[in-house]
Amino acid sequence: MESNGQSRAPGVRDVARVAGVSRQTVSRVMNEHPSIRDETRMRVLAAMEELRFRPNRAARMLTTARSMTIGVLASSASTLFGPASSIDAVEKAARDAGYFVTVAHVADTTAEEVDAALEHLAAQAVDGIVVVAPERPVVDALRSAAPGVPFVTLHGSQEPGEDGVVVDQFAGARLAVRHLLDLGHRRIAHLAGPAEWEEAAARQRGFTAELAVDGLEGIVTEPGDWTSASGARIGAALFDGSGGGGVTAVFSSNDQMALGLLHVLRESGRRVPEDVSVIGFDDIPEAAYFAPPLATVRQDFRELGRRCVARLLAEIAAAAAPPLAAPIAPTLVLRASTGAPR
């Protein structure tokens, strides 16, 4: 639009003119006032889209007492596939809801680091916080700090007392182990994840529980750190000399550690899946291109982010936590890395 030869962004007056309503009606739509009819709301939103109208953030804060900003408290683990995918999903869901996102990282899991991150978010007047910090000490420190705004944890296992939005890690592990059992495997090992991660603990519990259904006990390795290097190191120890104690299948707590395991099996002359079946967890983009392609358990991170933001916005609006939805069900992705034992 032009004014005295200068282009300017469209304003509320322009939206009102295109939608055929008053400026007050446009403001009520922007502030989600319940008195607006659906037909009117849709007409105003269509006009905003046509004009590429973007509400002024400062003005909205003055009229709604909200910054329209969600804070993300992320641990140093946020560079890993799961947390990074979760943050991306939260950012997209927040944008779709008209919110900005600001991220504060904690360098370690101490209470001091969590306090510093919360101060950073408080300085930006965030309306609520999403916690993408799967380590138990970070969540404990956050609860002790009492941030003063609603917060939702995105990771966890949804055990009694948990209040996060989660993928059902326990059920995902059981899917993986049941697949191996149905193939005929009876000596199965679990390449365990970090002990301080709730997801890793839930996957290990699922591994044990599903084997118990068939009256079996598995082998649980020492905890890895989610990296391929730790998977290779622990995998080498598992199969060194003894041949893994008759192990014919391994359920890895994540795909990256499974990659390290595939490497040491290949180096030792063992074939996958002819000698050892391997199944992972996460379905990272590269999993389909491992050698052989990795069977795994897929998590729906987009749905995880959507539910997390929806829950947080409901808490911000109502100042109370809505009932938790059921955990998101993971899915089993079958590829060439599993087969019947010889």
Our CA dihedral for 299, 258, 164, 88, rounded to 10 degrees, sits at: -60
| Average pLDDT score, the chain | 85
| Alpha helices, DSSP H, located in 20-151 | 23-30, 38-51, 57-64, 81-96, 111-123, 136-145
pLDDT at residue 66 in the model: 67
Q: Which is nearest to 149 in space by CA: 86, 70, 64, 75?
A: 70
pLDDT at residue 106 in the model: 85
pLDDT at residue 160 in the model: 43
Kindly report the pTM of this predicted structure.
0.77
The Cα angle at residue 320 between residues 316 and 322, in degrees rounded to 5: 100
pLDDT > 90? residue 123: no
pLDDT band at 45 (very low <50, low <70, confident <90, very high): confident
Q: Please, which residues bridge with residue 219 across strands?
A: 189
Pairing of strands 249-252, 277-279: parallel
Q: Please, which residues bridge with residue 3 across strands?
A: 6
Question: Burial level of 19, CB count in 10 A (0-12/13-18/19+)?
Answer: buried
Report, as an integer, the average pLDDT of 288-301. 96
In percent, how much of the chain has pLDDT > 70? 86
pLDDT > 50? residue 6: no
Q: How many CB atoms lie within 10 A of CB 214?
A: 10
The whole-angstrom separation of Cα 236 and Cα 247 is 13
Q: Name the most confidently modeled range: 152-166, 192-206, 235-249, 282-296.
A: 282-296
The whole-angstrom separation of Cα 226 and Cα 85 is 15
pLDDT at residue 215 in the model: 98
pLDDT > 80? residue 127: yes
DSSP codes, 216-284: ---EE-----SSHHHHHHHHHHHHTTTGGGG--EEEESSHHHHHHHHHHHHHTT--TTTT-EEE-SB--
- Could you say which DSSP state residue 295 is in? B
pLDDT at residue 3 in the model: 43
Give the tokens for residue 30: 């922007």
Report, as an integer, the average pLDDT of 30-57. 79
pLDDT band at 51 (very low <50, low <70, confident <90, very high): confident
pLDDT band at 190 (very low <50, low <70, confident <90, very high): very high
pLDDT at residue 112 in the model: 84
